[in-house]
Amino acid sequence: MASNAMRTISLRNIASHKVRLFLTILSVVLGTAFIAGSSMMTTSLKNSMDSLLTTAFDDVDVVMMPGKDSPLGVPMADVQKLRERPDAQSVDISAQQASVVITGSDGKPLQTGAAPAQAFAVAPGESFATGVTLAEGTKPEAENEIALNPGAMKKGDLKVGDTTTVVTPHGKTEMKVVGTFDAEVVTDSMVGVAFTEADFLKHFTDGEHVQLVTIGLNDGANADTVRTELQQQYPGVTIETGQSLVEQTTKLISQGLSFVNYILWAFAGIALLVGTFIISNTFAMIVAQRGRELALLRAVGASRGQITRSVVFEAIVVGLIGSIIGIFAGMGLVKILFALMGSQGMPLPDGGLGLDAKSILVPLGVGIVITVLSAWAPAQRAGATHPVQAMRSGDQSSNNSLLIRTVFGCLALAVGIGLALLGSLNSDLGGMTTRMSTIGTGAFLVVIGLWLAGPAFAGPLVGGLGRIVGAPFGAVGKLAATNSQRNPRRTAATAFALTLGLMMVSSIGMLGATMRDSMADMIDDSINADYVLTGSAGGAIGVPKDVPEVVAGVDGVESVTTTYAAPMLLGGKPMSDSMGAPNMKVVRGDISKAIKIELIDGTLDLPENEPGVIIAESTAETFDLKVGSNVTLTSLSGGQAKAPVKGIYKQNSTVGRALASYESAREINEEQSIQIDSIFVSAGGHSEQMRTKLQDATASHLVVGVKDKNEYIGETTSVINQMLSILYALLGLSVVVAILGIVNTLALSVIERRQEVGMLRAVGTQRGQIRRMIYIESAVIAFYGALLGAAVGLGIGWAFIHALSGEGMDSVVVPWGQVAAMLGASILVGIIAAVWPGHKAARTKPLEAITD
- What would the pLDDT profile of 64-113 be if each residue is shown by its tens digit? 887 766 767 788 888 888 888 888 888 888 876 677 888 888 888 887 65
Beta-bridge mates of residue 561: 680
Beta carbons within 8 Å of 15's beta carbon, 6+ residues apart: 21
* β-pair type (88-94, 212-217): antiparallel
Buried b (16+ CB within 10 A) or exposed e, 93-118: bbbbbbbbbbbbeeeebbebeebbbb
How many CB atoms neighbour CB 91 within 10 A?
Answer: 21
- To the nearest 10 degrees (0 to 180), the angle between helices 709-752 and 767-803 is 140
pLDDT at 231 over 80: yes
Higher pLDDT, 314 or 277: 314
Beta carbons within 8 Å of 725's beta carbon, 6+ residues apart: none
Q: Which of 310, 335, 325 is nearest to 367 (CA)?
A: 325
Q: pLDDT tens digits for 139-173?
A: 898 999 999 988 889 888 999 999 998 888 777 88
- To the nearest 10 degrees (0 to 180), the angle between helices 304-343 and 357-384 is 150
Q: Which of 451, 458, 460, 456 is nearest to 497 (CA)?
A: 451
Interior angle at CA 618, CA 615 and CA 621, nearest 5:
95
Higher pLDDT, 718 or 444: 444
Beta carbons within 8 Å of 790's beta carbon, 6+ residues apart: 502, 503, 506, 819, 822, 823
Q: Which of 727, 687, 721, 804 is nearest to 520 (CA)?
A: 721
Question: What pLDDT score does 119 carry?
Answer: 85
Question: What pLDDT score does 537 carry?
Answer: 46
Q: Which of 763, 657, 316, 729 is nearest to 508 (CA)?
A: 729
**Cα dihedral 648, 653, 655, 659 sign:** positive
Q: How far apart are CA 238 and CA 70, in angstroms?
A: 9
Higher pLDDT, 17 or 87: 87
Q: pLDDT tens digits for 34-62?
A: 777 777 776 776 676 666 666 666 668 88
- Find the radius of gyration of the CA atoms of the chain: 34
| Distance (Å) of CA 833 to CA 433, 504, 698, 765, 782 | 41, 21, 55, 22, 9
| Distance (Å) of CA 169 to CA 197, 300, 678 | 16, 85, 14
Beta carbons within 8 Å of 71's beta carbon, 6+ residues apart: 635, 637, 638, 639, 668, 669, 670
- Report helix, strand or coil for 160: coil
Is residue 319 a contact partner of residue 368, using CB atoms and an 8 Å limit?
yes
Q: How far apart are CA 504 and CA 443, in angstroms?
A: 11
What residues does each domain of the chain span? Answer: 59-243, 456-528+710-852, 541-702
Question: What pLDDT score does 627 carry?
Answer: 92
Half-sphere exposure of 724 toward its Cβ, with a 13 Å CA cutoff?
18
Q: pLDDT tens digits for 563-608?
A: 998 888 898 888 876 545 678 899 998 888 888 888 999 999 898 8
| Distance (Å) of CA 582 to CA 111, 251, 572, 661 | 28, 19, 11, 17
Is residue 664 a contact partner of residue 613, using CB atoms and an 8 Å limit?
yes
Half-sphere exposure of 308 toward its Cβ, with a 13 Å CA cutoff?
12
| Distance (Å) of CA 546 to CA 124, 537, 553, 676, 679 | 29, 19, 11, 10, 11
Mark out the alpha helices in 57-168 (DSSP H runs). Answer: 76-83, 150-155
Mark out the alpha helices in 471-487 (DSSP H runs). Answer: 474-486
Is residue 65 a contact partner of residue 237, using CB atoms and an 8 Å limit?
yes
Residue type, 574: P
* Helix (H) / strand (E) containing 659: strand 658-661
Question: What pLDDT score does 521 carry?
Answer: 77
Beta-bridge mates of residue 147: 179, 194
Beta carbons within 8 Å of 817's beta carbon, 6+ residues apart: none
How does residue 274 score in pLDDT terms, banded at 50, 70 and 90?
Answer: low
Is residue 438 a contact partner of residue 416, using CB atoms and an 8 Å limit?
no
How does residue 806 score in pLDDT terms, banded at 50, 70 and 90?
Answer: low
Question: What pLDDT score does 266 carry?
Answer: 67
Q: Ranked by mean pLDDT, which of 256-260, 291-295, 649-653 comes out on top?
A: 649-653
Q: How far apart are CA 197 and CA 92, in angstroms?
A: 9
Query: What is the average pLDDT across 361-390?
Result: 77
Question: What pLDDT score does 536 carry?
Answer: 62
Q: Which of 112, 50, 35 is nearest to 350 (CA)?
A: 50
pLDDT at 416 over 90: yes
**Mean pLDDT, rounded, of the chain:** 80
* Helix (H) / strand (E) containing 568: strand 568-570
Question: What pLDDT score does 586 carry?
Answer: 93
Q: pLDDT tens digits for 111-139?
A: 765 556 778 888 887 667 667 788 888 88
pLDDT at 538 over 60: no
Beta carbons within 8 Å of 17's beta carbon, 6+ residues apart: 286
Higher pLDDT, 765 or 795: 795
* Helix (H) / strand (E) containing 833: helix 816-833
Query: What is the average pLDDT across 226-243?
Result: 85
Mark out the alpha helices in 553-649 (DSSP H runs). Answer: 591-594, 617-623
How does residue 22 score in pLDDT terms, banded at 50, 70 and 90?
Answer: confident
Question: What pLDDT score does 730 carry?
Answer: 61
Query: What is the average pLDDT across 733-755?
Result: 71
Question: What pLDDT score does 611 carry?
Answer: 93
